[in-house]
Amino acid sequence: IPLDGVRPRGEVGVLRSTRAPVDVHVGAGVPIAVAESVRDEAERALDAMQYRLRIALPLPDGLRGGTPALDVYVTREGPAVETSVDALVHGGIFDVATAFVRVRATDDAIALKRAVAEGLCEAAVLGQKADHPRAWVQALGASLAGEVTGLAPDATAVATYQRSSARAVLGPGLPD
């Protein structure tokens, strides 16, 4: 499990949600309207995760991002969505992890909605059991995000998992 993901630098501000445990860190050059959309989508996604799907929210990260809330970084560059492990939390029957999410700014409202939901769902998966293969976390996050948003799951994340040897029950090399 890779620890201590590198948080994006150069933020110009933070939008803190007053109704959900999420902070949106705004990168240089990101329009405030996009950052507000990320915050709004994160609030909706967390509500759907907790109240409709009844899944546990991502774990609080102590003060790693300034508050215990889940940190979502909105940047001008990078992948559409990336969820990184912050730290392992020991003490239960599974190794679980706190995480943070990076989302690339876009004017495409549907792509932004999907990216935010996928990142938050991946963070929730890591908060339940952190040692799953990365491709599995992404595929499950994409599937859960489809339930959260009502959009179809991200086909790329699911296809990546399907090609991954980690999906093999009996070992690598099984036919697709």
Question: For position 136, what pLDDT does the model report?
Answer: 86
Close Cβ partners of 23 (under 8 Å, ≥ 6 residues apart): 14, 15, 16, 17, 65, 66, 67, 69, 70, 71, 72
- Local structure of 125: helix, strand or coil: helix
Q: What is the pTM of this model?
A: 0.86
Question: For position 162, what pLDDT does the model report?
Answer: 75
Question: For position 24, what pLDDT does the model report?
Answer: 98
Reading the block at residue 99, the tokens are 């995480």
- The 8-class DSSP code of residue 4 comes to S
Question: For position 3, what pLDDT does the model report?
Answer: 60
- The per-residue pLDDT string of the chain (176 residues; one tens digit each, 9 = 90 and over) reads 556 678 888 889 999 999 999 999 999 999 999 999 999 999 999 999 999 999 999 998 888 888 999 999 999 999 999 999 888 877 666 788 899 999 999 999 999 999 999 999 999 999 998 888 888 888 899 999 999 999 987 777 777 777 777 665 444 444 44
Asked whether the beta carbons of 153 and 143 are under 8 A apart, the reply is yes
Question: For position 130, what pLDDT does the model report?
Answer: 86
Question: For position 62, what pLDDT does the model report?
Answer: 81
Distance (Å, whole) CA 163 – CA 26: 34
